[in-house]
């Protein structure tokens, strides 16, 4: 028996290692040839100090100079001493290069291309080695556009436990991936990508969550919902999905299906176009108030274009509410949905 430990490095690269309950995370990492920072290996120096974002573990033996009680309560831990009691997600305070590792490269076959509308395409991949690909719901990969030397970043819209991978793409005039998917893509094409990457991923739900999606920013949130289907969810989760025009709306049926099977999950959407047939017209900010934010006792996950991210942040600040955590990811449609940032 072993648990899966996700090691998230400062440069956004994530590597996964298998760790037995009787071995330390540091031992498992070194077996996987990943050199996380270590010095004393004895719980005395604090060099390996990392932040555990989810999961249960035995912290092991260490002295206060290496890790204080306050730090331990906040979630800091010592990989040279800790042993897992469940799957873990750790933030490692160094780059992947410093740990002598890098993003993994995967090869896949194009399995399907679905044109939702003039503005949105979805495609699916069958990965050659699915067992060798792990990711956290919300993360992305860099995909090489077939027939070019260009890469584009796309978040998984499929869940980590689903065999086939899927991605949502906003069609951009002149975009490399847009051109490929609309003109040249054929089922059976070979595709290469690297990853997973990014710090925009679902943490353990310890309070209500508000998920906010703008356009194809819905993709990583679909991946998170797919994960929640397989968990017991003890807190309410509300998704607000905003788009520009009616043709940009995708997966409304999927979202309704999730509302049937995830306890406490509710969803609403809005369309900015005044001519829309949607019940809510305008931006998602029109649907966010202090109640939606549980007066601050909420984890917010937001993925959308930069203007939406900034608009939501400004709106929440104007309400005088500070969410317990605020995770966001901006993407730039002009660069064919390149992911440009993720922060807490």
Interacting residues toward ligand FES by CB under 6 A: 38-41, 43-48, 66, 78, 80
Shortest CB 101 distance to ligand FES, Å: 18
Shortest CB 66 distance to ligand FES, Å: 4
Shortest CB 37 distance to ligand FES, Å: 7
Query: Given the complex with ligand FES, which of 74 and 150 has the nearer CB atom?
Result: 74
Query: Given the complex with ligand FES, which of 43 and 304 has the nearer CB atom?
Result: 43
Query: Given the complex with ligand FES, which of 37 and 146 has the nearer CB atom?
Result: 37
Query: Given the complex with ligand FES, which of 74 and 129 has the nearer CB atom?
Result: 74
Query: Given the complex with ligand FES, which of 48 and 309 has the nearer CB atom?
Result: 48
Rounded CA gap, 144 and 190, in Å? 10
Rounded CA gap, 323 and 344, in Å? 11
Residue matched to tokens 């001493």: 81
Residue 72's φ and ψ, nearest 5 degrees, are -65, -40
Shortest CB 67 distance to ligand FES, Å: 7
Rounded CA gap, 52 and 41, in Å? 18
Shortest CB 19 distance to ligand FES, Å: 15
Query: Given the complex with ligand FES, which of 41 and 207 has the nearer CB atom?
Result: 41
Shortest CB 42 distance to ligand FES, Å: 6
Query: Given the complex with ligand FES, which of 48 and 221 has the nearer CB atom?
Result: 48
Q: 27: number of CA atoms within 13 Å, CB side?
A: 11
Query: Given the complex with ligand FES, which of 39 and 128 has the nearer CB atom?
Result: 39
Three-class SS of the chain: CCEEEEEECCCCEEEEEEECCCCCHHHHHHHCCCCCCCCCCCCCCCCCCEEEEECCEECCCCCCCCCCHHHHHHCEECCCCCEECCCEEEECCCCCCCCCCCCEEEEEEEEEEEECCCCEEEEEEEECCHHHCCCCCCCEEEEECCCCCCEEEEEECCCCCCCCEEEEEECCCCCHHHHHHHHHCCCCCEEEEEEEECCCCCCCCCCCEEEEEEHHHHHHHHHHHHHHHCCCCCCCEEEEEEECCHHHCCCHHHHHHHHHHCCCEEEEEEECCCCCCCCCECCHHHHCCCCCCHHHCCEEEEEECHHHHHHHHHHHHHCCCCCCEEEEEEEEHHHCCEEEEEEC
Shortest CB 90 distance to ligand FES, Å: 13
Shortest CB 24 distance to ligand FES, Å: 9
Query: Given the complex with ligand FES, which of 40 and 335 has the nearer CB atom?
Result: 40
Shortest CB 46 distance to ligand FES, Å: 5
């Amino acid at each position: 028996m072993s648990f899966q430990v996700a090691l998230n490095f400062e440069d956004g690269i994530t590597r996964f290692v298998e760790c037995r309950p009787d071995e330390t995370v540091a031992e498992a990492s070194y077996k996987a040839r990943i050199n996380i920072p270590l010095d004393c290996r004895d719980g005395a120096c604090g060099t390996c100090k990392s932040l555990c974002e989810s999961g249960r573990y035995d912290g092991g033996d260490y002295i206060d100079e290496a890790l204080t009680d306050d730090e331990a309560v906040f979630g800091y831990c010592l990989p040279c001493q800790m042993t897992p009691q469940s799957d873990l997600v750790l933030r490692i305070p160094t780059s992947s290069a410093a740990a002598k590792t890098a993003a993994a490269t995967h090869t896949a076959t194009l399995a399907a291309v679905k044109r939702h509308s003039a503005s949105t395409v979805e495609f699916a991949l069958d990965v050659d080695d699915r067992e060798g690909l792990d990711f956290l719901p919300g993360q992305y990969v860099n995909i090489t556009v077939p027939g070019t030397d260009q890469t584009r970043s796309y978040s998984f819209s499929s869940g980590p436990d689903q065999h086939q991978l899927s991605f949502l793409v906003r069609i951009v005039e002149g975009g490399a991936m847009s051109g490929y998917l609309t003109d040249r893509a054929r089922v059976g094409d070979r595709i290469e990508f690297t990853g997973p990457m990014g710090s925009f991923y679902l943490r353990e739900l310890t309070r209500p969550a508000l998920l906010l999606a703008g356009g194809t920013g819905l993709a990583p949130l679909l991946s998170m919902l797919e994960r929640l289907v397989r968990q017991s969810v003890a807190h309410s989760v509300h998704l607000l999905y905003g788009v520009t025009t009616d043709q940009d709306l995708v997966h409304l049926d999927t979202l309704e299906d999730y509302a049937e099977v995830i306890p406490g999950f509710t969803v609403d959407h809005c369309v900015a176009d005044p001519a829309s047939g949607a019940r809510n017209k305008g931006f998602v900010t029109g649907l966010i108030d202090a109640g939606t934010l549980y007066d601050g006792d909420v984890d917010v996950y937001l993925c959308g274009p930069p203007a939406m991210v900034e608009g939501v942040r400004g709106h929440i600040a104007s309400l005088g509410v500070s969410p317990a955590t605020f995770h966001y990811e901006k993407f730039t449609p002009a660069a064919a949905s390149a992911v440009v940032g993720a922060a807490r």
